[in-house]
Chains A and B, each alone.
Chain A
Amino acid sequence: MTLEALISSRAKLPERLYLFKSCVAGTFYPGIERSFRFILNSLNVDYFDDPSQSSCTGFGVHCGMVPPQTNLTLNARNLTLASESGYTNVVCTCPTSYANLKECVNELSDTSSRAAVNDVLKQVGLEYNGGVTVYHAAEVLYVIKDSLAERAKSSLSQLKIATHHGCHYTKVFYDQVIGGLWEYPHLLDDICTTFSATLVDYSERSLCCGMGFTNLMSTNDYSAVTSLRKLESILADKPDVIVTMCAGCQLALDRFQKKYERRLGYTAPVLNVSQLVAILLGADKTKDACLQFGTINTGSIVNKLEAL
């Protein structure tokens, strides 16, 4: 199968979605998940918003703090909740959850790992039996982008947009990226152009946002230097908004812009693609999209939306 065929074979709207919640999004940008729900509701997509699911623990895993077997077993529980509910298409808004859950699904196809995990799950009355597929929310938006555009109440024709696709979406399972090859993904770009946006390309397109897990909490320079490098490149052509698909990227790009506002000389608000699409569909900017959580003021975007 050619790569293109593979991409298009994956580019089908999965049915019965299991919404997988992110702790970083929930903490810093509650509008991401609210927006995604708003979009699914307005298209009558069937989904399950299960409160019982735990964090994927990916944040802790990448910091070395969560033992792999804890990660695998907790996620086996999460995946089991999905399969038992009949909502077997797990959709993450967080690329780290996406990659982590995919890794777990792969590992759990190994019979001995599965047996070890099921040994523990037995204690809580569960058994993992597979049958779950993992997606990222932006993939879902990508495959329904044309129906979304039909329902849009406003357009992006007045906006110049720069996108950043999270590294844990593009670089962990690089061969499964849809919308372009992993080194030059244009999943977000394609969604934005469906709403008539103008895109701004930039040289550090594949650079990390700077989030860097332990580094974000530590005194070393990784996060600040990397984020600045990224931002300087993004802002060079003065986009009106930066669109991401990861709460962690949004956090880094939003807060470091604030921190280095003076040095950068120009700022652009940062939005998750779900927030952007939701406001285009008429979501409430404060209650649904929660734009007020952005530290770089998002008012400019709202002003430039062109009513249809």
Chain B
Amino acid sequence: MANSDSSNNFDYLYKKENKVRCLQCGRCAAGCPAAHVFSEYNPREVMRRVQDGEEHELHKDPIIWLCGQCYTCNSRCPRNNNPASIILQARERAYKQGHAPAEIYQQSAALLESLFLNGVTVSPVLLKEKLGVLSELVDVERLTKLRAELGLPEHNSREVPIPAKAIKQIRTIITSTSGQGERANDA
């Protein structure tokens, strides 16, 4: 059974107790690599919006996809806030409600399929044009060749694939916590 709004029950990735106490000091922003690259992104402003009660609107704003999830903001904040986790929660909500960028859905299809089929999130086979710019950055041909030389599988990041019994457990868990593969599992 899929949980319709996971943030109600499973918001453990998201530290909430201090958000209203944000000092607006900008320590997070000054260290943030994303704020350095994008003028429209600023974790302090994200915190301000949270303080102003807009936290459940954040997921509609495409800026949430600019954060690099480096957690510098988390390690710098004098009030123990964690803007990165607020972004994370907004992303999750956006993803679920259809606000994520199209490329995210394409990539997620590949990653989640890999997780479902082989129990691993990233695997070499995905690089074949499924992971956007990453596929360009990596010299896939060379990687494939080197892996083949060592006798490593092409479709799996594991040297020893996960045994079938374990894969079955993994699929059951994915299906009952996210609904993914509901039909596949029935079959």
Chain A residues in the interface with B (C-beta under 8 A): 21, 23-28, 30, 51-70, 72-74, 77, 103, 106-107, 110, 113, 116, 120-121, 123-126, 167-168, 170-172, 174, 182-183, 206-208, 210-223, 225-226, 229, 251, 255-256, 258-259, 287, 290, 292-293, 295
Contact bitstring B4-31, A, C-beta under 8 A = 1, else 0 = 0010011111000000000000000001
In the complex, B115 has a CB within 8 A of chain A: yes
Cα-based distance from A103 to B13 in the complex (angstroms) = 7
Q: How far is the CB of A247 from chain B (nearest CB, A)?
A: 10
Cα-based distance from A28 to B147 in the complex (angstroms) = 9
Contact A67 B10 (CB under 8 A): yes
Interface of A is mostly: helix
Contact A222 B75 (CB under 8 A): no
Contact A214 B65 (CB under 8 A): yes
Cα-based distance from A219 to B134 in the complex (angstroms) = 9
Cα-based distance from A284 to B9 in the complex (angstroms) = 49
Chain B interface residue count, CB cutoff 8 Å, equals: 79
Q: How far is the CB of B154 from chain A (nearest CB, A)?
A: 10
Cα-based distance from A207 to B71 in the complex (angstroms) = 10
Q: How far is the CB of B50 from chain A (nearest CB, A)?
A: 17
Contact B122 A23 (CB under 8 A): yes
Contact A222 B172 (CB under 8 A): no
Contact A26 B120 (CB under 8 A): yes
Q: How far is the CB of A179 from chain B (nearest CB, A)?
A: 16
- Which residues does chain B contribute within 8 Å of A61, judged by CB atoms? 13, 88
- Which residues does chain A contribute within 8 Å of B94, judged by CB atoms? 64
- Which residues does chain A contribute within 8 Å of B138, judged by CB atoms? 28, 251, 255
Contact B121 A174 (CB under 8 A): no
Contact B172 A123 (CB under 8 A): yes
Q: How far is the CB of A275 from chain B (nearest CB, A)?
A: 14
Residue of A52, A57, A68, A74 near B92 (CB, 8 A) is A68
Say whether, besides A61-B13, A61-B88, A64-B94, A55 and B166 are in contact (CB < 8 Å). Answer: no
Contact B6 A24 (CB under 8 A): no
Cα-based distance from A207 to B88 in the complex (angstroms) = 20
In the complex, B163 has a CB within 8 A of chain A: yes
Cα-based distance from A21 to B122 in the complex (angstroms) = 12
Q: How far is the CB of A184 from chain B (nearest CB, A)?
A: 11
Contact B137 A23 (CB under 8 A): no
Say whether, besides A21-B158, A255-B138, A59 and B74 are in contact (CB < 8 Å). Answer: no
Contact A65 B104 (CB under 8 A): yes
Contact B33 A208 (CB under 8 A): yes
Cα-based distance from A167 to B74 in the complex (angstroms) = 10
- Which residues does chain B contribute within 8 Å of A116, judged by CB atoms? 9
- Which residues does chain A contribute within 8 Å of B103, judged by CB atoms? 217-219
Residue of B104, B122, B131, B178 near A70 (CB, 8 A) is B178
Contact A218 B159 (CB under 8 A): no
Say whether, besides A206-B72, A215-B66, A68 and B119 are in contact (CB < 8 Å). Answer: no
Contact B74 A70 (CB under 8 A): no
Residue of A21, A28, A217 near B107 (CB, 8 A) is A217
Residue of B92, B123, B137, B174 near A27 (CB, 8 A) is B123
Contact B66 A290 (CB under 8 A): no
Contact B66 A220 (CB under 8 A): yes
- Which residues does chain A contribute within 8 Å of B34, judged by CB atoms? 222
- Which residues does chain A contribute within 8 Å of B133, judged by CB atoms? 216-219, 223
A123-B172, A217-B131 known; 10 other A-B pairs, CB under 8 Å? A30-B150, A52-B163, A59-B121, A63-B104, A68-B6, A72-B12, A113-B12, A218-B103, A222-B34, A223-B133
